[in-house]
Structure 1
């Protein structure tokens, strides 16, 4: 079991790309395994911007069963025991985040159908609130192929992901809460679009191609097509609270990760975003490019 008190760097808002908000004010993690079972439990008090502190905490557990070394299934339960945050609705009703529950089921199958290199993965999540009429859904499915037998071990994958939005014609609140989801190449759905949208009211198609020229260097290309299930987008960027179109846009990115030494790690990326109809209709009609280089040192 680990208990950790985290820290930040460069002041309240400084060091954004150093990931200061990935640390926690306090966290506890307990893990164990027995036979084919793996289990974990955790408590997280995230490190929020002090001026926007919501006192939100997360309590959860995960249970996984390994049917074989290539096929596993797991389930996760996460609850929010404390939060000052409230969700807004078109009717003006406020729904407390405190008490929200998320339950999910996840499957992963490598060497699927006895084809070495083929992998399938998927997850379904449901959110509900015992004191409110809340029902939100999210799911994804991935199919990929890793070619270990040739140089640079290239891999190609496709992922479809869906996070429900709130239907203004329904009294039920249906916007999915992304909790703490992030991660470049994982659930940060485009380094540029990730600055204006979250994993709520979002539908994405992602194609990812990856090569490893050597064991220290990894190159990844990602293509994203982003759409919104609902035109009501209250709870997102205020400029995008009501959309004229389901078409958010597209993004192409290339990233490199290089372990220069045991203590130096270099990450570089370039990303090109193409606004869709929803953005062009509010005046954001120009393509934009992001370039970033980060050097990390450890000791």
Structure 2
């Protein structure tokens, strides 16, 4: 056995060996990610709240080793989680001279951010640092997969991912789909009129992602993938069995990076091509690609790449400024030809305080807004957005709070729409099941026809999981995020580190009785009461490459919907089981 001075020297050599490579991968991580925008059951795109390191299952502790592992793993508080990047960086941890083996787990913290726990098995005897490249192509076996090749200047990763979901609806659209889906071009044979419908959907995505250093400070990176998806059985809008294949990711970019003597980070990058994109938690921009229709896989949402995305980013320590031009990949039946130009800032002014601001402008679009006596175009839309979040470390009992407010106007007509939310919760980390209780108030304005301005909020491409911007697993399919006031009461419970239970109770109200632009049958409401819903989601993370998500929702329509259906309705129940497997 070596004494502590020898261990320190070994750790230092390993740390220096991987540090330059770590800086490169960390710098480009927002672009190198094969799956950044996430899906309803996935952790991709979630904000990382904390990264912990344990040795030999928590039996040992060493500060020097912990610092070396954190630098090699290259994930930090405030980053957006990318499982492919973390798999790659885990191989760098394994290359440290004092490490016998390493693995990591991802679990959702009480405030919705992720906690990553890296478990390191220490080697009994210090070994020389492995100077040769790693990866499957270097004959090291499949334990390095998805890393095909990696050395100090280059990396090549494979992606192979399957999402499979079983979904069941009982009395979808409150048993009156012919009324509530009228006018929807996707609703060919909608579910709901015959009691219970159950279907299966699945997708497989395969791709390659790589980077290579052109110099000590400039690197090129890119990625490409192909996805095949299918649906079998009577789903929400059709009973047609179908499959569809197409290119998902296809992008190329350059990144320049540097570090200061004090450890500061300076990064600039340029990217163009098909690529996922999101801003913060997705209240405005998250669903850069559409699913369903001929593409199938309506509920599991495997596609999320814009077509195309042009992106420039500048990072100065913990401050990020990005410019983008986004063309969402919409379904042919619903393609609005929308193009979005934007600038976004995000940074931490204090360790626990995160601020953000965004400005959007829509130079092209065929989407329309409706009033009782006029039709306006989305073209010319402008959005100003402000965000703030107080987020203490997820491992401690504490208050957390976040808020966002945005205003929409239009250069071609008088528009005055508002949207936003305020959320507060308390994390109890010192009692059984580590519960977090929270309340969120959100409001997205409707149009008052008695005023001169048009005030209905345009939801653009909002999205995310059931604890983000799917407001009610069932009700979202009827109300979405426009002309709605939603009260969400939510708990997060952790019976064990790999299990999470998320019960929710929702109350939905309309902002105005005029609802033109929503479901045709609900164009004019007789009441502001839209209904209530109870959700329960259970998530089991077997390991970072295998996740199971089970959800159930029970929805009672409010007075406005019951009257629109002339009192002929049923309460809506749905249940689903989703498996995400990465190989």
TM-score (ref. length: structure 1) = 0.92
Write the distance in 2 (CA, Å) between the matches of 1:9 and 1:96: 24
1:242 aligns with one of 524, 529, 551: 524
Matched, 1:275 2:563: no
Partner residue in 1 for 2:382: 101
The answer to which structure, 1 or 2, has the higher relative contact order (CA under 8 A, 6+ apart) is 2
1:251-262 correspondence runs (5 A): 251-262=533-544
CA–CA distance in 2 between the matches of 1:9 and 1:225?
Answer: 27
Q: Residues 28-55 of structure 1, C-alpha deviation per residue, up to 9 Å, x if partnerless?
A: 3443321442222333221211122111
| TM-score between both structures, scaled by the size of structure 2 | 0.48
8 Å contact kept, 2:358–2:385: yes
Matched, 1:177 2:458: yes
Shift of 1:151: 3.6
The reply to whether residue 38 of structure 1 matches residue 320 of structure 2 is: yes
> Alignment partner for residue 441 of structure 2, among 160, 170, 186?
160
SS at match of 2:543: coil
Aligned residue runs from structure 1 range 1-299, under 5 A: 1-5=270-274, 12-20=294-302, 22-91=304-373, 93-111=374-392, 116-184=397-465, 185-283=467-565, 285-299=569-583
CA deviation profile, 1:67-102 (whole Å, cap 9, x unmatched): 2111122111122221111111111x1111011011
Any unmatched runs of 5+ in structure 2? 1-269, 276-288
What is the alpha-carbon root mean square deviation over aligned residues? 2.1
Determine if contact 1:110/1:117 at 8 Å carries over to the other structure.
no
Deviation (angstroms), 1:20: 4.4
Q: Moved runs in structure 1, 4+ residues, more than 6 A?
A: 7-11
Q: Is the 8 A contact 1:71 1:107 kept in 2?
A: yes
1:4–1:267: structure 2 CA closer, same or farther, 3 Å change rule?
Answer: farther
Matches of 1:190 and 1:271 in 2, distance apart? 8
Bigger mean CA deviation after superposition, 75-84 or 8-17: 8-17
**Which segment drifts farther, 13-22 or 130-139?**
13-22
CA distance in 2, matches of 1:201, 1:259: 36
Q: Secondary structure at the match of 2:560?
A: helix
Q: Equivalents in 2 of 1:87, 1:8: separation in Å?
A: 20
The match for 2:199 is none
Paired residue secondary structure (2:517): coil
Cα deviation, residue 10, structure 1:
8.0
1:90–1:10 distance in 2 versus 1, CA, 3 Å: closer
Question: Matches of 2:392 and 2:348 in 1, distance apart?
Answer: 14
Q: Distance in 1 between matches of 2:560 and 2:398?
A: 39
Structure 1: where are the runs of 5+ without partners?
none
Equivalent in the alignment of 2:64: none
2:177 alignment partner in structure 1: none
| Cα pair 2:438 2:491 within 8 Å, conserved | yes
Aligned length: 296
Larger Cα Rg: Structure 1 or Structure 2? Answer: 2
Counterparts of 1:109 and 1:10, CA distance in 2: 36
Q: CA deviation at 1:160?
A: 0.5
Higher percent of residues as helix: 2
Distance verdict in 2 for CA 1:167–1:152, change over 3 Å: same
Q: Name 2:145's counterpart in structure 1.
A: none
Kindly provide the CA deviation profile for residues 168-204 of structure 1, in whole angstroms up to 9, marking residues without a partner as x.
1112100011111111211110010011112110001
2:397–2:430 contact (8 Å) kept in structure 1: no
Tell me the CA shift for residue 273 of structure 1. 0.2
Which structure features the higher share of strand residues? 1
